[in-house]
Structure 1
């Protein structure tokens, strides 16, 4: 993990044996990864946004959202481990939970290849190293396939995550790093990590395409069609989970990047 993923044993205790771990995950993409690594039975709590894999997570109690966490509900679940993410979860909430959860696992993947460290971190903590390595092998093969594609012309694309107000992503986000794997860059819209912006001729003039994400705002093909007519440049609807979820979904995300490249190049 790039510089920020680590295990903090807040009380200085020795780590719980893997089969005894009681895990609360506040990160939807990592909840899915933990299930893939065979740890569903150890998951005792998850957020309402932890929706994959559907048939498994339906049986795991909800503890609120990624930001509006129910502290007392988590306390009653008596977890040994709490999995959080620097972007998705709020530090004051995590600090309150650290008062009674012995082990806080902090994650912060910034680029697609950080998923290898993420899987190995979870494998090492929870004693499923073999499953983690198998997943890493599959990821490395898919990543090599993506890297082997012929180089394409560099493009500038605006990735939109919200409207009213319109919001995009900065170059230091995981989404921008995914786009960079295709040789695509996002425009500089200021200091914010998820900047607001206004449409202008100057902005549109530097773009090759606009990408409307299906999450967190639920953009649709109708939005894409209307905006394309308005702007006069190609606008595509893209699967937000494939572009922004690390962990298990990142493997499918690498395949999706190849589809996205073909889609955009076909319209160029």
Structure 2
């Protein structure tokens, strides 16, 4: 059986996969929500949804560092990776073991394409089609209800150094989906900035993501002291960055940010 992944690589499988290793947390959660948990044999230490997986399944490392011997011992039929999450070195090592399917997510259409690809590989096309339809319904409902003027936002993902979300990434897409304007959209990826950056004076809101840096209320207070006229709040980073089934929860959450 021949498939294509999102890097246009050919993925050749001799049979429908029954032993899956996922090296991407959002894709791991997606598999579980598809009812494929029993087929998962290995996950990363960052695969936190559902929480019990890191107890019931073998943890094979992180997204950037893996235990190659542990992966070999699990004898996977397929390993699910991601272009941004996993390094080229990891991919090269794993290609010697078993077929890899690599995702490349830049927008919602890429999310839907990946879901459809999994539908083909794991023979669950009805399930995947239903998920896509339900996400689109949530999106349409949100867009129909959200008539407020788009506010300008600076979305922080790291401290020491301070780093923000700019363009050319999935989080920026979701900032727009949430009905906001990213003040750093003219820059690329995840730039380091100084808190004296003039563009911060243009923002209506400052969002501190719950991940990858674990921002806390103390950071909110610090920034509120520096920017007393701005609204500063911690936001759920997973609902801005995790693609897959978590998208079902994103739009309902976005409503709360406009209150």
User: Is TM-score (shorter-chain normalized) higher than 0.5?
Assistant: yes
Q: 2:7·2:104 contact (CA, 8 Å) conserved in 1?
A: no
> Residues of 2 paired with 1:105 and 1:22: CA distance?
14
Which has the larger displacement, 236-245 or 48-57? 48-57
* Matched pairs, number: 255
How far did 1:188 drift? 3.1
Q: Partner residue of 1:68? A: 65
Name the CA shift for 1:189/1:247 in 2 (closer, same or farther; >3 Å).
closer
String of CA shifts for 1:39-90, please: whole Å, max 9, x gaps. 1111111100001112344211000000011111111111111111111110
Residue 152, structure 1, aligned to residue 148, structure 2:
yes
What's the RMSD between the two structures over aligned residues? Answer: 2.1
How far did 1:113 drift? 4.4
> Structure 1 residue runs of 4+, over 6 Å off?
none
TM-score by length of 2: 0.91
Q: Partner residue of 2:15? A: 16
Which has the larger displacement, 180-189 or 205-214? 180-189
Name the CA shift for 1:190/1:68 in 2 (closer, same or farther; >3 Å).
farther
Name the CA shift for 1:189/1:243 in 2 (closer, same or farther; >3 Å).
closer
> Residues of 1 paired with 2:217 and 2:68: CA distance?
39
Match of residue 54, structure 1, among 51, 55, 60: 51
Q: 2:207·2:232 contact (CA, 8 Å) conserved in 1?
A: yes
Q: 2:165·2:184 contact (CA, 8 Å) conserved in 1?
A: no
For 1:1-268, what aligned pairs fall within 5 Å after superposition?
A: 5=6, 8-9=9-10, 13-18=12-17, 21-101=18-98, 103-188=99-184, 192-200=188-196, 202-232=198-228, 233-262=230-259
How far did 1:138 drift? 1.6
> Which consecutive unaligned segments of at least 5 residues does structure 2 have?
none
Name the CA shift for 1:62/1:99 in 2 (closer, same or farther; >3 Å).
same
Name the CA shift for 1:8/1:197 in 2 (closer, same or farther; >3 Å).
same
How far did 1:187 drift? 2.6
Q: 1:83·1:105 contact (CA, 8 Å) conserved in 2?
A: yes
How far did 1:191 drift? 5.2
